[in-house]
Structure 1
Amino acid sequence: MINIKYADAIKTFAQIESEVIPGGIIFLFVEGLTIKWKVASKNFDMDRFKAGTDLPETSVAARAIREGNTLTEKVPREKYGRRLVVTSIPFVDDSNTPVGAMSILMPRLHPVAAGFPNFAPIVAELFPEGAFIYMTDLTKVAYIQSSKKFTLPNMYVGYELKATDIAYQTIHNKKEQTKEISEEVYGVPVYVANYPLYDEDTGKNIVATIGVVTPKSAATKLKNMANNLASCLTGISATTEELAASSSKIHENEQNLYSHIESIIATLDKINGVSEFITSVANQSNMLGLNAAIEAARAGENGRGFSVVAEEIRKLSSQSKETVPQIKILTDEIKQKISEVNKESRQSLTSSEEQAAATEEVSASIEELSAMTDELNNLAKDL
């Protein structure tokens, strides 16, 4: 208990202390059940406690005055909207009768909240792509910590929790929540993990949550790369299929050309056979013409006309015979040319077969690459 005559000295002390207590503090001077004077830290104040306000009979100050003892109580959030540690020290007059009290109100922080300013900046920088760490009470965001690489501009101290927020769901479902959120919400896809923090005395009631938000930009890059690769492979695959079809057509044409060349060679062989037959006929005609000339000479004047016919036959035979070598020369030249074409055709046929085989290998490789793009997509989803 404190004698009331020291009240002014204690008020001066309280004003000094209100600015140096790290977590903030409120000092109340109560006479009877009425708050007569108050001083609060800049970073911690409660509007419901102000000069002129009457305290209920159940308040810590009222009980300390009644009992004449210093009382300390942990006040749950339900009572004043915040978890508090309240200490009330009775003021007594010279007869040692309680006439009032000095109440000291301090925010009751969960140990994680108390250590947040120390560990959060370090933890946020441990993530390769950066992280955003935050803590909430049961209704709003109480602490935030961004990393150098990543922050959430629309998440701030005092932000009121909504039913769609992960922290809200953690509080109401009473268990940790993890979720992937698309880029529509924060501009980039993120992974959010939020965990409940329980009353440190009972371990039963949730009093706060702590959450970590990490970007999934690497997954987005992988997914975009996979999509671009898949698009390119689709185009290459279509072109390869056209090339394969073209190669097959070329191969078919080469086979037809080869068949035609073989047919032409067979025809040339028949022409050579006809030329040999002409030579044979010419030789026989020449012999017949010679015999006819001999018989015409024996016939004398009467065989003169027949002699002229025989001579013409011999001339025709001679001309036919002279033509046959020329035909043979021409057919040999044609055969030579066709032989060269045939050789080139065979080479072209072999090349087209190799091209078709190579195209099939390329198609198989593209199918493997397509399978790899699917794996890339799956990997991006797992990140």
Structure 2
Amino acid sequence: MIVGRDVLEAFIKVTPYINKLLPIDVFVEVADTEFFLAYQPGLTFDIKNKVGDPVPPNGPMRHAVATRQHVEVVVDDPARGAAFKILIEPVIDENNQIIGQIAMGSTLENQHRLNEIIKNFTTAFRKVNDSTQEIMEAARNLAVIGEKLSELTSQTQKSISQTDVIIDMIKHISMQTKMLGLNAAIEAARAGEQGRGFAVVAEEIRRLAEQSNVSAKNVTTILGEVTQSIQTINSQCKETGAISQEQAASTEIVSDSMHNLGKQLDKLSEFSNIL
């Protein structure tokens, strides 16, 4: 409580200037226990009290006098215009007797606007945050897929490398078959007229050996190209996986920042209620 009749009188004198000194638009009123002694409307808000008017019998100012306590309340009276918040402090004299009260109030219109802005921003923020979470999850999944694909291409490379043994075996068989056909041709030549049929067979064996050798070389070339392609895919998969991991990490940082921003919005909302 405020103590002193001189303080009450001082407030009566400075009432017209208080709202000019504050950063928010307020109305100020001073009253004794029954009537208003001073009133200054806000710059944009006026609850239309007048000096000499009786203090409303059921209002918060009567409550402050009756309880001898500080009162802070929101008044929503259509007759007075928009809802407003009022703070009332009782004044006592040196004998501890209630002699008056000082009140200050402000419209809640700006608070409602701020709350609406906060609400809209919070809604948009949550949508962005949800999208960020989805992007982060997708990036993580992409990184996992990239790792699995990289493992698969590595396994494929190993499988292709195992075919080298088979191709070498084919080449070896081709060489042996070619030598066999050459030997058969020599023996057919020695046999003369009786060996002509055998010579045809020997020539067919040699031709088959040549074809097998050429086919083995072609397969080797194709497998080499496939291996090179798989190596390229593997390298790109690893690069994609690394980028996805970096993206997931960066997105997580953004998500944490937005989470902290959400907390600040909650504090801002609480602060607007104080105002």
Q: TM-score, normalised by structure 2?
A: 0.81
Matched residue, 2:228: 336
**Structure 2 CA distance, aligned partners of 1:114 and 1:346?**
81
**Structure 1 CA distance, aligned partners of 2:247 and 2:76?**
47
For 2:26, which of 114, 127, 131 is the aligned residue? 131
Q: Which amino acid aligns with 2:47?
A: L
**Structure 1 CA distance, aligned partners of 2:17 and 2:116?**
32
Q: Deviations over 1:71-103 (max 9, x none)?
A: xxxxxxxxxxxxxxxxxxxxxxxxxxxxxxxxx
Matched residue, 2:218: 326
Q: Which amino acid aligns with 1:344?
A: Q
- Alignment partner of 2:130: what SS? helix
- Alignment partner of 2:86: what SS? strand
Q: Which amino acid aligns with 1:380?
A: S
Q: Do the aligned residues in 2 keep the contact of 1:169 with 1:177 (CA within 8 Å)?
A: no
Matched, 1:167 2:61: yes
Matched residue, 2:122: 230
Q: Which amino acid aligns with 2:161?
A: D
For 1:355, which of 217, 224, 247 is the aligned residue? 247
Work out which of the two has the higher radius of gyration on C-alpha atoms and give 1 or 2.
1
- Unpaired runs of 5+ residues, structure 2, are none
Matched residue, 1:285: 177
In the TM superposition, what is the alpha-carbon distance from 1:182 to its structure 2 partner?
A: 6.0
Aligned residues: 268
Structure 1 residues 260, 111: closer, same or farther in 2, change over 3 A? closer
For 2:74, which of 181, 185, 202 is the aligned residue? 181
Structure 1 residues 317, 353: closer, same or farther in 2, change over 3 A? same
**Structure 1 CA distance, aligned partners of 2:237 and 2:77?**
62
Q: Do the aligned residues in 2 keep the contact of 1:193 with 1:211 (CA within 8 Å)?
A: yes
- Alignment partner of 1:152: what SS? coil
Matched, 1:271 2:166: no
Matched, 1:121 2:16: yes
Q: TM-score, normalised by structure 1?
A: 0.60
Higher RCO structure (Cα 8 Å, ≥6 apart): 2
Moved more, 313-322 or 182-191: 182-191
Q: Do the aligned residues in 2 keep the contact of 1:170 with 1:196 (CA within 8 Å)?
A: no
**Structure 1 CA distance, aligned partners of 2:160 and 2:246?**
32
Structure 1 residues 350, 123: closer, same or farther in 2, change over 3 A? closer
Percent same amino acid at aligned positions? Answer: 25
Q: Do the aligned residues in 2 keep the contact of 1:136 with 1:143 (CA within 8 Å)?
A: yes
When the two chains are superposed, the root-mean-square deviation of aligned CA atoms in Å is 3.1
Query: Residues 187-336 of structure 1: matches in 2 within 5 Å?
Result: 187-196=82-91, 203=95, 206=98, 208-215=100-107, 223-336=115-228
**Structure 2 CA distance, aligned partners of 1:259 and 1:115?**
84
- Alignment partner of 2:29: what SS? strand
In the TM superposition, what is the alpha-carbon distance from 1:149 to its structure 2 partner?
A: 4.2
**Structure 2 CA distance, aligned partners of 1:350 and 1:111?**
76
In the TM superposition, what is the alpha-carbon distance from 1:282 to its structure 2 partner?
A: 0.8
In the TM superposition, what is the alpha-carbon distance from 1:170 to its structure 2 partner?
A: 2.3
- Alignment partner of 1:151: what SS? coil
Q: Do the aligned residues in 2 keep the contact of 1:227 with 1:373 (CA within 8 Å)?
A: no
Structure 1 residues 364, 209: closer, same or farther in 2, change over 3 A? closer
**Structure 2 CA distance, aligned partners of 1:281 and 1:113?**
118
- Alignment partner of 1:125: what SS? helix
In the TM superposition, what is the alpha-carbon distance from 1:277 to its structure 2 partner?
A: 1.7
**Structure 1 CA distance, aligned partners of 2:188 and 2:9?**
146
Q: Deviations over 1:282-314 (max 9, x none)?
A: 111111111222233333444332222121111
- Unpaired runs of 5+ residues, structure 1, are 1-109
Structure that is richer in helix per residue: 2
**Structure 2 CA distance, aligned partners of 1:115 and 1:285?**
123
Matched, 1:375 2:267: yes
Structure 1 residues 313, 159: closer, same or farther in 2, change over 3 A? farther
Structure that is richer in strand per residue: 1
Structure 1 residues 338, 145: closer, same or farther in 2, change over 3 A? same
Q: Do the aligned residues in 1 keep the contact of 2:31 with 2:55 (CA within 8 Å)?
A: no
